[in-house]
Chain A
Amino acid sequence: MHDPIIALTNLTKRYGKLVAVDKLNLTIHKGEIFGLLGPNGAGKTTSILMMLGLTEPCEGTAYVCGYNATRQPIDVKKKVGYLPDSVGFYDNLSGLDNLVFIGKINGLAEKEARETAVRLLETVGLTQDMHKKTGAYSRGMKQRLGLADVLIKNPEVIILDEPTLGIDPSGVQAFLTLIKQLSHQQGLTVLLSSHHLHHVQQVCDRVGIFVDGKLLVEGNIASLSKNLFDKEGYVTAITLQSGSGLESIVEELGQEPHVKQVSLQDNKLEVLCEEDITANIVHFLVHKQCDIIGVHRKDYGLDEIYQKYFENKTHNSSVHEKSFPLFQRPFFKKRDKQAPERP
């Protein structure tokens, strides 16, 4: 589990003045599913291209499966399957023929390639459509065909660039389950880039948050959320029967140990504390004869994690314009998303 299969050190790519990727250091171990999370234009695709030797880094090195991706791209490409974000196929060939073609490029004999292709199409659930021309495929079908296409070379690592883009929700679900299943069955290392938080949250063992060419933080979701708690403190939200005549209680509550800040909005009380003292707060309020109708201890989900890191970023520097709509989205979402436990 602990031999790095992808090791990036100080990877930097500049386009003129624009720094697309800035001193990226990242290690991904065998068998992991790693989610590279970031807004559009954060440099995710550029990093992936450098890992595959499809573009040259300005500084730093990328080692994939023990090969230097810049110097030995062919060796890397033998072991790595790459699914680009806007994957395309030869429209006038059937799905099966498209796969067989890629199989043959990877050195499989015609018969072997055909057998493998049929087996893989079954895995991704395209058996019925394999003789249809790919021009008639839907976006979701193309993505699944793309996955089969990546797998036909029997890779050690698969890199998926925005694999869930443009697929409907149930399709996304099926696709992610498939990826997870394949990774567990075959011991594949998966690097998945996305700007879609929830998709990443569902499948990834570890995530890295990538903004403006910098990897801000990496780790599993539980540890990211703990980091945030340590920095920001714990928030307990309490809903009361009525919000009138509470000013004195709020003031008194503010004097309690570990409480950093108390805010009252209508009948909702939000308490920010250094430690998790939800029980003490409830106790205190009951003692003051307040009618509590709801207590909620807030957890940081990926939305909050993501937004938090990005918020810091917006304060520090100007940000790509096109990433704004994306980051406004979390504001309108429920904030009480539970961070799922990772095995």
Chain B
Amino acid sequence: MRILVTGIAMFALCVSAHAHRLNLFATASNGVISGKAYFSDGKPARGVAVQAYDPGGAALGETTTDEEGRFEYALPVTGGAVTLKSISGDGHAAEFTVTPADPAGSAAAADTPAASGPSPGGASAGTIERAVDEAVARQIRPLREQLDAFEHEVRFRDAIGGVGYIVGAVGLVALLKARRGHGRP
């Protein structure tokens, strides 16, 4: 009985471990990188460590995904691109680079006006721009997530194409064998 319970618990813990590919996706705003890790069948990757590296390859820090495969990481002050890497225990690995253009861009915009322009009018051009940037980033985030998932989705035509390659390869081998056979009596 205990073995059965352990088995079921173990099974429930690692149901997502069988998927074939691990994917990472992240965006950054308000000085926080937030993202998610998921397997190729759309299931969240739970409790997987995500490491952050700067462009030079030096480790910045580490975080772990929650029950829904989501993680958050405080954007380092360096302002450059941050590469996120994740290796799950069973041989899956994924990498995603948060480029400075989208995340750190808004972070930089967040820093400069705050430092340089405490304009008395309240809403300076910088503040408005920052607010718009953030709102737009927030709005298009689901779209980007969907696009990222769509890009990694395996499509029917890929499978059919692969089978076609195998048939073609065997045809080629058969042809070569037949030719060699003709050479000899």
Do A and B pair up? The answer is no
Interface residues of B (CB under 8 A from A): none
